[in-house]
Amino acid sequence: MSQTEHQFVETEIKPLVAADDWVGPEPGDERYGPNQMIGSFNAGIKTGFDRIAALADQQFEENRQKAGVLTRSVLEELTSKSFHPEFARLKIASWDEFEVLIALPKKEFLSDALLPLFDFTTELEQRVTDASFSIVFHFFGKGENYNEKKVLSDGYLYSHKSLTE
């Protein structure tokens, strides 16, 4: 009758193994000891994170510049159609998601002539959106009840320089 696994370990393996069968490396004798392995692992993790952070910073800066260029094109389209944008503000939702708020005089915002500009911005948003970038343009009519603090508290912190110069 054959032995069970437990019986085999007890009769065939344990008698041959003793705690002092293994001798660890002496200090300075280690080729790849535990401390070296842990140190190498930590160094690799730090290097990897540093590279990822640098790539994320680079991508964010490219995306921020892209948002500026696209906003300029929307502002140029508005002015070519006789609109008078008062400001454009940028909200950074994340490294790859941007929102732009463009203020128009209330009368211009309520004009039917603005409707084709919605189509223009929608097509632009769809054309430039990819896995690492998206942008949305919002318009509003700036009237007597305009509150700068609310715009800022909504996260629209950056002003497009073309309308501030």
CA distances from residue 111 to 4, 24, 94, 158 in whole angstroms, order as listed: 88, 83, 33, 27
Q: Residue 90 has what pLDDT?
A: 96
Spell out, as residue ranges, where the chain has pLDDT lower than 70: 1, 6, 8-9, 12-33, 36, 164-165
- Of 113, 114, 116, nearest in space to 102 by CA: 114
Q: Residue 61 has what pLDDT?
A: 93
Q: Residue 23 has what pLDDT?
A: 66
**Is 7 part of a structural domain of the chain?**
no
**Is 137 part of a structural domain of the chain?**
yes
Q: Residue 38 has what pLDDT?
A: 76
Name, in order, each residue with C-beta under 8 angstroms of 77's C-beta and a sequence gap of 6 or more. Answer: 117, 120
For the chain, the domain total comes to 1
**Is 19 part of a structural domain of the chain?**
no
Q: How far apart are CA 102 and CA 33, in angstroms?
A: 61
**Is 68 part of a structural domain of the chain?**
yes
CA angle 104, 109, 111 (to 5 degrees): 140
**Is 95 part of a structural domain of the chain?**
yes
Query: Residue 91 belongs to what domain range?
Result: 47-163
Q: Residue 4 has what pLDDT?
A: 75
Q: How far apart are CA 7 and CA 3, in angstroms?
A: 6
Token pair belonging to 64: 């921020």
Q: Residue 19 has what pLDDT?
A: 61
**Is 29 part of a structural domain of the chain?**
no
**Is 12 part of a structural domain of the chain?**
no
CA 145 to centroid of chain Cα atoms: 34
Q: Residue 78 has what pLDDT?
A: 96
Q: Residue 76 has what pLDDT?
A: 95
**Is 72 part of a structural domain of the chain?**
yes
C-alpha R_g of the chain: 32
Q: Residue 144 has what pLDDT?
A: 86
Look-up: residue for tokens 């996260």?
155
pLDDT tens digits, one per residue of 34-62: 776 777 777 788 888 888 888 889 999 99
CB atoms within 10 A of CB 85: 21
